[in-house]
């Protein structure tokens, strides 16, 4: 080993030690760690940060029961990685009426779900009024459901359709029932990769401006990253820097959720993808770099259950959701399915105590005694998805009333 390599190793170890102790690292240091730090050392440092942040509950890892309700697939942005959308004038376009949406909310409540993600395309006719109507109807019928939905891209679109400011759009849909933003549409925030995969969307800077505006209006959100569409390592770290800078000012991002591009049925055709090791390294570096973001979520949906389980050893404190319905990434090839009992088992076999959480991450039910684990096998992911084998598009699902 050369003297330069020795020095690099010493420097990386020093940066890892500082980060593990809770010190802030620079984007340049984060890039070096992401590229060169030994995988296990990186994961160990990230896990040390997680344990310190959650001292007293560090033995717990969480999950949530939710449903993605896809209200339309019509979309004017035509993102190159997306396999879900249809051009607005295409004969493949569909929309769900309000009665159908409310039925799906009813099923969610019956299965013990606490959250819905209203997710669809940028329909050319859907302005602020559409979301006001639907959110208020959902809240009136099912006030116990948290509406954790949409993101800055939808705000930019609906405000343009309705001829109002982004601030007015946020205020109005929040008043109608939106509880928090899901961070949709972040994809990659740096200019070059964003223009390459989503040229018709707003800039990354504008996405962050709208999220910052929402945070200042009292509407918190999560933040996301789509990995594997041809971005560089440096651009991945720049994405994190952009999020951290806004978080320093607002504190409104509750969590960071990286997920991997799925290669089927879209224009990118899988020409570039993120490896599972790159994903685990991102989970770890996010925990080290985003010292101002509380939660890091692992994604079993796009990487598989085993890698999702491993993410709990690389800084993640949450294993995401049992999605009763999901069609967007499933349309692009994410075929992983699970159920509540399996998620609990995955968390427990990772050496952690499972806990069902709320949208705001409070523990609703801690599964500290396996003898008291739920046995209801009806809480299954994708139970009414159309984009994955094993789901069903039948309008009347056979479910049991939650106790």
Annotated binding site for S-adenosyl-L-methionine: 81, 187
The Cα angle at residue 83 between residues 81 and 86, in degrees rounded to 5: 115
Name the nearest CA neighbour of 255 among 170, 198, 315, 308: 315
Q: Which parts are annotated binding residues for (3R)-3-methyl-D-ornithine?
A: 299, 321
Taking CB atoms within 8 Å and a gap of at least 24, the contacts of 265-273 are: 265/83, 265/331, 265/332, 265/333, 266/80, 266/81, 266/82, 266/83, 266/332, 267/80, 267/81, 268/80, 268/81, 268/197, 268/229, 268/230, 271/230, 272/228, 272/229, 272/230, 273/228
Q: Which parts are annotated binding residues for [4Fe-4S] cluster?
A: 75, 79, 82
Q: Which parts are annotated binding residues?
A: 75, 79, 81-82, 187, 299, 321
């Amino acid at each position: 080993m050369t003297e330069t390599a020795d020095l690099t190793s010493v420097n990386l170890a020093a940066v890892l030690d500082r980060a593990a102790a809770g010190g802030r690292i620079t984007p340049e240091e984060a890039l070096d760690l992401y590229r060169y730090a030994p995988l296990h050392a990186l994961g160990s440092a990230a896990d040390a940060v997680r344990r310190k942040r959650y001292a007293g509950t560090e033995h717990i890892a969480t999950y949530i029961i939710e449903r993605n309700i896809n209200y339309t697939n019509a979309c004017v942005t035509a993102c190159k990685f997306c396999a879900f959308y249809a051009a607005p004038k295409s004969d493949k376009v569909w929309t769900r009426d309000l009665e159908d949406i409310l039925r799906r909310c009813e099923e969610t409540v019956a299965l013990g779900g606490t959250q819905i993600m209203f997710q669809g395309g940028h329909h050319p006719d859907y302005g602020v009024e559409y979301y006001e109507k639907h959110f208020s109807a959902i809240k009136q019928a099912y006030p116990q459901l948290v509406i954790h939905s949409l993101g800055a891209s939808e705000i930019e679109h609906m405000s343009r359709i309705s001829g109002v400011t982004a601030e007015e759009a946020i205020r109005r849909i929040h008043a109608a029932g939106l509880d928090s933003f899901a961070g949709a549409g972040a994809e990659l925030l740096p200019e070059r990769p964003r223009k390459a995969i989503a040229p018709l969307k707003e800039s990354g800077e504008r996405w962050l401006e709208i999220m910052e505006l929402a945070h200042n209006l009292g509407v918190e959100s999560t933040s996301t990253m789509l990995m594997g569409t041809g971005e560089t390592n440096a651009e991945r770290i720049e994405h994190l820097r952009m999020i951290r800078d806004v978080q320093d000012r607002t504190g409104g991002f509750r969590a960071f959720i990286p997920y991997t591009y799925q290669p089927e049925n879209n224009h990118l055709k899988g020409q570039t993808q993120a490896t599972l090791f790159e994903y685990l390294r991102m989970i770890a570096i996010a925990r080290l770099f985003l010292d101002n973001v509380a939660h890091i979520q692992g994604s079993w949906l796009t990487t598989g259950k085993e890698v999702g389980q491993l993410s709990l050893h690389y800084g993640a404190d949450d294993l995401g959701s049992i999605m009763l319905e999901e069609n967007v990434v499933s349309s692009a090839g994410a075929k992983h399915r699970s159920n509540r009992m399996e998620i609990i088992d995955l968390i427990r076999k990772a050496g952690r105590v499972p806990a069902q959480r709320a949208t705001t991450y409070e523990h609703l039910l801690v599964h500290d005694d396996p003898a008291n684990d739920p046995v209801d096998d009806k809480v299954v992911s994708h139970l009414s998805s159309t984009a994955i084998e094993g789901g069903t598009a039948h309008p009347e699902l056979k479910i049991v009333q939650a106790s």
